[in-house]
Amino acid sequence: MSEIREQLSSIWIEIKETLHLNLDYAKLTATEKITVLLSTIAIVLICFAVGSIVIFLVALGLLLLLAKSTGLFGACMIMAGIFAVLLIAALLLRKQLVIDPIARFLSQLFLK
């Protein structure tokens, strides 16, 4: 009888250790995935900020270049038209440009 009790207690100890190790593994995996996600978000935000500055400066340069031939008002209208076309294209292609890449990244990150 005591032999069965010892076997049951050793099995119970093994089960507790296995559950504890699996919990620790899940915590480490979750920490790794959250770290990758947050670092990716940080990189995207930095690229967005720098890219916005670059686009602003290029637009300003094109505006000044166009102003020499069309006048300031005409150059502003042309640049506004270019930005309107870019905005419409971004809205029409938002699934291919934004939603699908984000969904693909998150599914690869969390289901891998």
**In this predicted structure, what is the pLDDT of residue 14?**
94
Q: For the whole model, what pTM was predicted?
A: 0.73
**In this predicted structure, what is the pLDDT of residue 90?**
93
CA 38, 42, 48, 51 torsion-angle sign? negative
pLDDT tens-place values along the chain, 112 residues long:
788 888 888 899 999 999 999 999 999 999 999 999 999 999 999 999 999 999 999 999 999 999 999 999 999 999 999 999 999 999 999 999 999 999 999 888 888 7
CA distance 108 to 91: 25
Structure tokens at 35: 């770290």
Instruction: Find all residues with CB under 8 Å of 33, minimum gap 6, and list them.
Output: 109, 110
CA distance 59 to 63: 6
